[in-house]
Amino acid sequence: MLVRNTKNDILEHVAIIMDGNGRWAQNKGRPRLFGHQAGARRVREIVESCPELGIKYLTIFAFSTENWKRTQLEVSGLMKLFKRYIYKETQPLIEAGVRVRFIGDRLRLEPSLVNLMDQLEELTEKNSAVNLTIAINYGGRDEVTRAAKRMAKDVLNGELIVDSIDEETLPKYLDTHVLPDPGLVIRTSGEARISNFLLWQSAYAEYEFIDTLWPDFTKINMVNSSEAIVKLNDLDGKKTQVINDCEITLLPANHGIPACGIRVKSNNKSYIFSGDSADCPEFWDYVNNDSALEGLIVECSYPESLHELALLTMHLSVTNIKERTINLPQNVKKVIVHRKPGFEKKIQDELELSNIENLYFPDNGSKISF
């Protein structure tokens, strides 16, 4: 993604048409909603990168007025996803100093979703680090139509004189009336269409159409689309791959959504990460048969008293960790991660009372050397 115009001036306002979620999922043999979930996760990274790139305003196209034509299953899933996004991201957005606004026609949206949108706008109204505008049930033509109706109403009420109307008048009635016009509009997925997005506001904007599907869009694209800082290696279908003298092996996992463990081997030493997973005998077979193992990073979400909940949510409990790691060599570092909030100390206390050696319980930001 380019963030500077041809004069190398930092762009203040960037707008993005987030396209390609469905194709991204279909390419992986997954339902379209899986792609929308991945796309929602991508938004956080892009928002977080804005301050260092000098982007003060970011506008994203989440759901258009034309999207109602999609299947009822997909539309219903998207509405639930919007609610889940607001629930999950409210606190991180507040802490990051992000001000959130929503544009689009709210009349067709569920009242419960509108309430959440209103609350998020109110909770973030004093923030100023980044201005994030989310377009939901938005269409450029619909926006101009609604603006024209409001303007006509003011004329009828005598609040606006017809002869005073010029090209500066209409923008005051648009959903974006408090925002500057975007200097750059980006569309992912390779489609070279503007799809009824910010028609009035983008009259003088530069357009960038890139082939990357939205879930694969990264901060790296935003810095410089011509020079790769990180090369992404797709391990799908490849059990083991050698990258820069490191042998990377995907390991089996047992979780409610697609997941995997990872083994990294270099200089005859290996390190294994469980990822999110319930008890998975095939994974532990790899762990126990790895003679080069130096470190195990493994999830433990719940204490022993909540073992049944761990089974239900497809995570590991202290019971699993005790059973599976007790026979590992003492020199292997066992790093316990993914402890659910509120249970961190109880999990640590229970495991420290066991006979397991070399246990580590990192906090956010902790560093453990291997």
d(CA 211, CA 116): 33
Tokens of 222: 């935003």
d(CA 108, CA 25): 27
C-alpha dist (Å) from residue 206 to 4, 5, 182, 196, 285: 10, 8, 9, 16, 54
Would you give the end-to-end CA distance of the chain in angstroms? 36
- Phi and psi angles of residue 134, each rounded to the nearest 5 degrees, phi first: -110, 120
What are the helix (H) ranges across the chain? 21-27, 32-53, 72-95, 111-123, 140-156, 219-223, 281-288, 307-313, 318-325, 344-352
Q: Which positions are catalytic?
A: 19, 67
Contact 176, 103 (CB under 8 A): yes
d(CA 80, CA 60): 18
d(CA 319, CA 303): 8
Q: Hey, is 114 helix, strand or coil?
A: helix
**Residues in the chain, overall count:** 370
Q: What is the DSSP string of 298-359?
A: EE--B-GGGHHHHHHHT--BHHHHHHHHTTS-TTSEEEEE-PPTT-HHHHHHHHHTSS--SE
